[in-house]
Chain A
Amino acid sequence: MTIPHRTVAGLALALAAAAAAAQGTAYVSSEKDDALTLIDTKTLTVKGTIPICKRGRHIQRLPDGTLMVACTDSNAAEVIDPATGKSVRRLPLGDEPEAFDVSPDGKTIYVSNEDEAEASFVDAATGKVLKSIKVGQEPEGVKVSADGKTLYVTSEVASMVHVIDVASATVVKNVKVGKRPRRMAITPDGKELWVTNELDASVSIVSTADHSVIGSIKFAVKGARAEDISPVGITMTKDGKRAFVSLGKANHVAFVDVPGRKVTDLVLVGKRAWNVTLDKAESRLWVVNGLSDDVTVIDVAAAKAIKSIPVGRVPYGVVIVE
């Protein structure tokens, strides 16, 4: 069988395009809809919504491939099977869950319960609260180390990261970082914990070995004053070379050279850029804009926004399934 040349060339082109924008779905939570918005990652258009529990916030993929979204006003999480686009179960997550992370074995969900000022360990199968640990007021970001032994929780009011030993379920260290710490990322080598400080226009870098603050990165945006730069969302590439930090009120996302601890690019996005996520190929960055009710998709290589897509009211987080 012979294939005409033109077709081969066409196929190659199509493949290249697919690599740039693989077939998949972005799931966006929004606080005022009780629904997820689904976006086709190839066409960058909304293809539907899924009803969920009330006030969906943090959304994350579980090790078994399902999606979990925490619903603050339902004291629960909705678990969605991306294959069917349907909820498979609803799991209690303690009082007022905001953010969570999952143990590497997928058996435990670690949740910040903002009104109770607690970090809870929740059994992923039954929703039973196994343990609750008192932390500073308004706990927010939750991150578990790759080995599953250490849990980090930020407290917005106390301006600290609580380091929790998972085995004993106790706080072993309180690390003072910048004002109003929000979200965290751990470098792939496990050595550094990066924490965004909403009211300090900065990221604090914490050594995971001794839990000391070993560095910080201040953000500056031309035309914006320091008080208008409120970093919240953060994500890192798999090779640990680049980080992406949303700058909230400054309506930009900062690209950061991780080893150099330097900002390399600033990309204009929507209003109050909140949480961020990368697609699998790390070629596109998805940014959730809490005050313009949309998400912005950025071409990472060009450091340029490709498109902003309207979603629900007060969007919060995004996960991509490819």
Chain B
Amino acid sequence: MKRLTILLALALGAGAATAATLKATLLHPADDARLERSRAERAYLGHPTGPAEDGVQMALQEGAFELDAAGARVSLEARPAASLDAARATAVAAEKGGAAVLLADLPADWLLAVTDAVKIPVLNLGEASDRLRTQDCRARLFHLMPSERMRADALAQTLVSRKWTNVLLLIGPSPADQQRAATVQAAMKRYGLKTVASKPFKMSADPRERDLANPLLLTAGAQYDAVWVVDSDGEFARTLPYRTVLPRPVVGDAGLVPVAWHAQFERFGAPQVSRRFMKAAKRPMTAHDWSAWMAGKALVGAAVAAPKGPAAAWAQALAKTPVDGSKGVGMTFRPWDGQLRQPMLLTDGQGVISQAPIEGLLHPTNVLDTLGHDAPEKLCKQPR
């Protein structure tokens, strides 16, 4: 907060006196299990490694010039919540306190409870679950983080472009793994990939369970072009590459991984963004940080489009103003499910190997809409 105020004051100071301040509140879990040191240090691809506030703050600071030129202001307050009920209460209090937008880095259930408790737009920073974009979608809910389906589509397209058609699927034991595996299988079907076998795996050193735990046994007995591993936890997937019976690439949650951002992305001015983030937050910028940064940029965009407010004007501008996320295109929210359409990056953790949508793929209106659920599918029934 303090940093931001100083910076705004430093900037040109024109017309700021009459401006309304777009107040935003960021809700995040207290004692976030995802960010426990032992987990954050693993830095599994697709997992967060630090608080969402870092990315949002960076965007607001970068926006100082633009905000000032428009005579607009944005303020951010971060509030931890220890439970679903606490998150809901905090959201209601924030709205009463004048917040015009909520930013949420919360689990899906919490996110829905929060969204249903207020009347202002809610930006989803970190939750990828597909149900928030389909059966449980909400008219005021916007998603910066790409959905699981977008990630699966991006990877399926990439396999198609490589002609790696036959896939061995390895699926973890958690309910999240089961759900994500269904998303993966649907994406494979859409893009004409073949599942040569689908096997459950389990982290275990028990010799009686070695069929479930040993990578050599799991990957034996089939011919495949790639192994797609679904492992929401990350520990099993991390050491799967180079341990398969056949010398084939691992993709999914290790090996080649579809993400919204990677600090080694080299195109479209991305290195400057990652460098600024590293400087400010002292860690490499992940996909979660990028989504948080984009949320901050969306706030700046809305405030600049409607410097005097009121809240309704900000809400409208938020839904419509394209945001530049250094991925080469201006990005907008899909009107049918509130998802930010965006290119995806395929990374092995060392660099960005390729992007999706793959080259040559066609779409009637916007090729970015080949990633994730498209308008004609009508999977979100909430009118916007």
Contacts and interface: CB of A to CB of B under 8 A. Distances in A.
Given A115-B272, A137-B276, A227-B330, A176 B62 contact: no
B66 interface: yes
Nearest to A290: B267
Contacts of B276: 115, 137
A136 B67 CA distance: 11
Contact of A230 (B62, B66, B328): B328
B349 interface: no
A60 to B, nearest CB: 21
B38 interface: no
Given A180-B324, A227-B329, A249-B328, A174 B65 contact: yes
B107 interface: no
Interface string B168-199: 00000000000000000000000000000000
A170 B12 CA distance: 10
A319 to B, nearest CB: 23
Contacts of B329: 199, 227
A138 B272 contact: yes
A137 B367 CA distance: 29
B366 interface: yes
A171 B12 contact: yes
Contacts of A180: 324
A151 B266 CA distance: 29
A176 B65 contact: no
Nearest to B10: A134
B238 interface: no
B281 interface: no
A136 to B, nearest CB: 4
Contacts of B272: 114-115, 137-138
Contact of B65 (A136, A200, A230, A249): A136
A180 B272 CA distance: 14
Contact of B269 (A138, A160, A176): A138
Contacts of B322: 179, 199
Most buried by A among B10, B12, B65, B328: B65
A115 B276 CA distance: 7
B324 A199 contact: yes
A115 B275 contact: yes
B366 A225 contact: yes
A225 B361 CA distance: 13
A78 interface: no
Given A115-B276, A135-B65, A176-B70, A157 B328 contact: no
Contacts of B366: 225, 227
A158 interface: yes
A199 B330 CA distance: 6
Most buried by A among B68, B275, B324, B366: B324
Given A156-B269, A199-B324, A179 B65 contact: no
Nearest to A175: B69
By size class, the interface of chain B is 20 to 34
B272 to A, nearest CB: 5
Judged by DSSP, the binding face of B is helix
Contacts of B12: 171, 174
Contacts of B66: 136, 157-160, 176
A155 B324 contact: no
Given A136-B66, A225-B366, A157 B330 contact: no
B324 A160 contact: no
Interface residues of A, number: 25
Interface in B244-281: 269, 272, 275-276
A174 B330 contact: no
A133 B248 CA distance: 53
Contact of B62 (A137, A160, A227): A137
Nearest to A291: B267
B324 A179 contact: yes
A174 B69 contact: yes
A171 B330 CA distance: 27
A160 B65 contact: yes
Nearest to A135: B65
B330 A176 contact: no
Contacts of A157: 62-63, 66, 324
A158 B98 CA distance: 27
B164 to A, nearest CB: 24
Contacts of A179: 322, 324, 330
Contacts of B63: 157-158
B19 to A, nearest CB: 15
Contacts of A137: 62, 65, 272, 276
Interface in B318-338: 322, 324, 328-330
Interface in A163-194: 171, 174, 176, 179-180
Most buried by B among A135, A155, A160, A174: A174
Interface in A99-142: 114-115, 134-138
Nearest to A176: B69
Interface in B354-384: 366-367
A227 B324 CA distance: 12
A171 B63 CA distance: 17
Contacts of B65: 135-137, 155, 158, 160, 162, 174
Nearest to B279: A115
24 contacts: A114-B272, A115-B272, A115-B275, A115-B276, A137-B65, A155-B65, A156-B269, A157-B63, A157-B66, A158-B62, A158-B63, A158-B66, A159-B66, A160-B69, A174-B65, A176-B69, A179-B322, A180-B324, A199-B322, A199-B329, A200-B330, A225-B367, A230-B328, A249-B328
Given A176-B70, A179-B322, 9 more contacts: A134-B10, A137-B272, A138-B272, A156-B269, A160-B65, A162-B65, A174-B68, A225-B366, A249-B328
